[in-house]
């Protein structure tokens, strides 16, 4: 199976291609234009022509080109072409974890519902693999919209950087790199995001995929840094289903994959407290993201990623 076939699902692409990821940027650009030039309204520079597509605004049709070619073309403006996307992947060791696989390997008892439901390929994805599937669909959407998209990976610092491009081969380059990476080491996602903020020269769309298992205070500071520089952020908070549901039974020994610290717990006795802590953890990011105008998308690997992504994109389109 090729890398694209593994991570870029045709049924997902068929739905994603109908949606628009840039809507918020266009709205913000319009408001910025009005603010800077109140007498002229939204001022943009002509960039190029493209073929007319159903749904395009008829006022953008270039009748001079039609008179010469007998074909419909619309004027494409610079405001439509300046949306640059960055896919930011957390490479810390905790991302390389799949609860179902680990439960089976360790022969740990747990929720039979979780184990029986994990018969499909999706429910056996690590958080990193699940994130790649999300990133593949969003990367495709950016390129489909002729917007440049790049890749950044980070753990304790920035590791890999593929500069943004809108060529069709770009997605293959991104997926080829991701397919050959194995998350490892400790997390300092905040440091990586500070580095990214310094690296980016123009307002961009930053799509972050992480379990956010790091110092939340420092991470929030790095998110504010990115927002302060005018970037838009979509924060995909990806946890494993077992991390959210905590389906374990009996006395279970847990090992931190980043520090190797061990802890033995009565799983059933800890379940309610654990779930409450996870809810508080997610709610904090949700509330802080709302204040900073960041799109926060909580997910776990038991949720069909294609359904979750389509629902998010539809809600985004309705808002803008």
One domain for residues 100 and 63 = no
Q: According to the model, what pLDDT value does residue 305 have?
A: 81
One domain for residues 99 and 46 = no
212 pLDDT above the threshold of 80: yes
Q: According to the model, what pLDDT value does residue 2 have?
A: 61
134 pLDDT above the threshold of 80: yes
Q: Please give the residue that has the higher pLDDT: either 114 or 228.
A: 228
Q: According to the model, what pLDDT value does residue 37 have?
A: 36
Q: Which CATH number does the domain housing residue 12 bear? A: 3.40.50.410
Q: Please give the residue that has the higher pLDDT: either 15 or 158.
A: 158
Q: What DSSP string describes the chain? A: --HHHHH--HHHHHHHTTS-S-HHHHHHHHHHHHHH-TTT-S---EEEEEE--TTS-GGGB-HHHHHHHSS-EEEEEHHHH--EEEEEEE-SGGGS--HHHHHHHHT--B-HHHHHHTTSSGGG--HHHHHHHHHHHHHHHHHHTT--EEEEEESSSEEEEEEEE-STHHHHHHHHHHHT----S---HHHHHHHHHHH--S-EEEEEEE---S-HHHHHHHHHHHHHTT-EEEEEEEE-HHHHH--B-SEEEEE-TTT--EEEEEHHHHHHHHHHHHHHHHHHHHHHHHHTT-EEEEEETTS-HHHHHHHHHHHHHHH-
One domain for residues 191 and 104 = yes
Ranked by mean pLDDT, which of 28-42, 66-80, 94-108 comes out on top?
94-108
Question: Among residues of the chain, what percentage have pLDDT more than 70?
Answer: 75
Q: What band does 108 get if pLDDT is binned at 50, 70 and 90?
A: low
Q: Which of 62, 80, 98 is the last residue of a domain?
A: 80
pLDDT, average across residues 34-46: 38
Q: According to the model, what pLDDT value does residue 39 have?
A: 31
One domain for residues 162 and 196 = yes
Q: According to the model, what pLDDT value does residue 197 have?
A: 95
Q: According to the model, what pLDDT value does residue 21 have?
A: 67
One domain for residues 57 and 125 = no
One domain for residues 95 and 203 = yes
Q: Please give the residue that has the higher pLDDT: either 252 or 230.
A: 230
Q: What band does 83 get if pLDDT is binned at 50, 70 and 90?
A: confident
Q: According to the model, what pLDDT value does residue 308 have?
A: 85
State which residues form the domain around 30.
23-80
One domain for residues 171 and 286 = yes
Looking at 22-31, 191-200, 243-252, 272-281, which range is the least confident one?
A: 22-31
One domain for residues 251 and 132 = yes
Q: Which of 51, 80, 109 is the last residue of a domain?
A: 80
Q: What band does 151 get if pLDDT is binned at 50, 70 and 90?
A: very high
- Structurally, how many domains does the chain consist of? 2
Structure confidence by residue, pLDDT tens digits, 283-316: 999 999 999 999 999 999 999 888 888 888 888 7
One domain for residues 69 and 140 = no
How high is the mean pLDDT of the chain? 80
240 pLDDT above the threshold of 70: yes
Q: Which of 33, 63, 80 is the last residue of a domain?
A: 80
Question: Among residues of the chain, what percentage have pLDDT more than 90?
Answer: 38
119 pLDDT above the threshold of 70: no
One domain for residues 35 and 130 = no
pLDDT, average across residues 211-219: 94
One domain for residues 262 and 134 = yes
One domain for residues 57 and 134 = no
Structure confidence by residue, pLDDT tens digits, 188-199: 999 999 999 999
Q: According to the model, what pLDDT value does residue 122 have?
A: 52
226 pLDDT above the threshold of 60: yes
Ranked by mean pLDDT, which of 29-38, 111-120, 152-161 comes out on top?
152-161
Q: According to the model, what pLDDT value does residue 279 have?
A: 96
Q: What band does 48 get if pLDDT is binned at 50, 70 and 90?
A: low
């Amino acid at each position: 199976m090729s890398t694209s076939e593994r991570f870029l699902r045709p049924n997902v692409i068929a739905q994603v291609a109908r949606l628009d990821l840039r809507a918020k940027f266009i709205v913000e650009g319009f408001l910025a234009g009005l603010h800077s030039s109140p007498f002229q309204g939204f001022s943009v520079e002509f960039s190029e022509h493209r073929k007319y597509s159903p749904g395009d605004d008829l006022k953008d049709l270039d009748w001079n080109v039609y008179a010469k070619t007998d074909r419909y073309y619309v004027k494409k403006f610079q405001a439509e072409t300046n949306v640059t996307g960055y896919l930011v992947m957390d490479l810390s060791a905790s991302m390389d974890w799949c609860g179902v696989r680990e439960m089976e390997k360790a022969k740990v008892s747990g929720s039979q519902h979780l184990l029986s439901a994990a018969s499909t390929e999706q429910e056996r994805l690590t958080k990193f693999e699940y994130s790649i599937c999300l990133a593949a669909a969003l990367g495709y959407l950016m390129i489909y919209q002729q917007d440049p998209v790049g890749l950044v990976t980070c753990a304790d610092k920035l590791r890999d950087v593929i500069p943004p491009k809108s060529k069709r081969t770009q997605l293959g380059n991104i997926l080829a790199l991701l397919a050959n990476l194995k998350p490892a080491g400790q997390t300092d996602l905040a440091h990586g995001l500070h580095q990214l903020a310094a690296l980016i020269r123009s307002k961009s769309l930053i799509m972050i995929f992480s379990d956010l298992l790091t110092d939340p205070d420092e991470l929030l500071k790095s998110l504010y840094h990115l927002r302060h520089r005018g970037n838009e952020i979509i924060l995909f908070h990806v946890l494993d289903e077992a991390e959210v549901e905590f389906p374990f039974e009996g006395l279970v020994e847990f090992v931190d994959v980043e520090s190797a610290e061990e802890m033995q717990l009565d799983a059933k006795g800890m379940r309610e407290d654990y779930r409450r802590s996870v809810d508080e953890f997610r709610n904090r990011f949700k509330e802080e993201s709302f204040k900073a105008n960041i799109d926060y998308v909580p997910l776990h690997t038991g949720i069909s990623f294609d359904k979750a992504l389509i629902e998010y994109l539809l809600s985004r389109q309705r808002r803008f």
